[in-house]
């Protein structure tokens, strides 16, 4: 079955899935969501009305949520590079870090993006301050985990 990925090149969550696809040289068609391709947005929303991207389409199957997409690729389109370790406990560590980066780094950074997108300088500053506060906490914990 042919794979298609709906997303945007500036979206960090889209990049997360692109890395998994590129790592294994998995063939897919990229369907960029933007003003020049309204047909892609219409099809994406028909398939996934929750309005989050990226969305992977494999034939008639829609696969949403980047962590699930990556596990799906591992199961259904495996390549030379394993995306999760075979050992269940090692896989649990990978899943934990996946959650950590999504919930405490990506979502934290999103506060700054959301503030900037309003075009309001006060909201921009507030969003940035909140992102910095949350990211400092996350990176502080991460620094403590690094073994040199
Ligand atoms: N938990 C989702 C998050 C995806 C996400 O937030 N994507 C952003 C783009 S990077 C998005 O869809 N933003 C549009 C919106 O929230 O309306 C995943 O892992 O797929």
- pLDDT class for 1, splitting at 50, 70, 90? low
User: Whose C-alpha lies nearest to ligand 1, atom 13?
Assistant: 52
* DSSP secondary structure string for all residues of 116-138: HHH--HHHHHHHHHHHHHHHHHH
State if residue 49 touches ligand 1 by the CB under 6 angstroms criterion: no
pLDDT given at position 147: 76
State if residue 11 touches ligand 1 by the CB under 6 angstroms criterion: yes
**Beta-carbon count within 10 A of 115 CB:** 21
Find how far residue 74's CA is from the centre of its chain. Answer: 16
**Ligand 1 atom nearest 13 alpha carbon:** 10
Answer for the pair 8, 61: CB distance below 8 angstroms, yes or no: no
Nearest Cα to 104, choosing from 71, 141, 69? 141
- pLDDT class for 148, splitting at 50, 70, 90? low
User: Whose C-alpha lies nearest to ligand 1, atom 10?
Assistant: 11
* pLDDT tens, residue by residue, 136-147: 999 999 999 987
What pTM does this model have? 0.93
pLDDT, the chain, mean: 96
Which CATH superfamily groups domain 3-76? Glutaredoxin (3.40.30.10)
State if residue 52 touches ligand 1 by the CB under 6 angstroms criterion: yes
State if residue 66 touches ligand 1 by the CB under 6 angstroms criterion: yes
Answer for the pair 54, 41: CB distance below 8 angstroms, yes or no: no
Q: How far is the CA of 52 from the centre of ligand 1 (A)?
A: 4
User: Whose C-alpha lies nearest to ligand 1, atom 16?
Assistant: 52
* pLDDT tens, residue by residue, 50-88: 999 999 999 999 999 999 999 999 999 999 999 999 999
């Amino acid at each position: 079955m042919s794979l298609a990925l709906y997303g945007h090149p500036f979206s960090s969550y889209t990049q997360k899935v692109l890395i998994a696809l590129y790592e294994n040289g998995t063939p897919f068609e990229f369907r960029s969501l933007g003003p020049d391709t309204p047909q892609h947005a219409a099809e994406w929303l028909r398939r996934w009305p929750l309005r989050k991207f990226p969305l992977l389409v494999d034939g008639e199957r829609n696969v949403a949520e980047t962590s699930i997409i990556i596990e799906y690729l591992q199961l259904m389109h495996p390549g030379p590079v394993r995306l999760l370790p075979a050992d269940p406990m090692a896989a649990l560590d990978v899943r934990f870090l996946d959650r950590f980066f999504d919930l405490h780094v990506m979502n934290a950074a999103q506060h700054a993006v959301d503030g900037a997108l309003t075009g309001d300088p006060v909201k921009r500053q507030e969003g940035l301050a909140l992102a910095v506060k949350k990211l400092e906490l996350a990176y502080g914990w991460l620094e403590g985990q690094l073994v040199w």
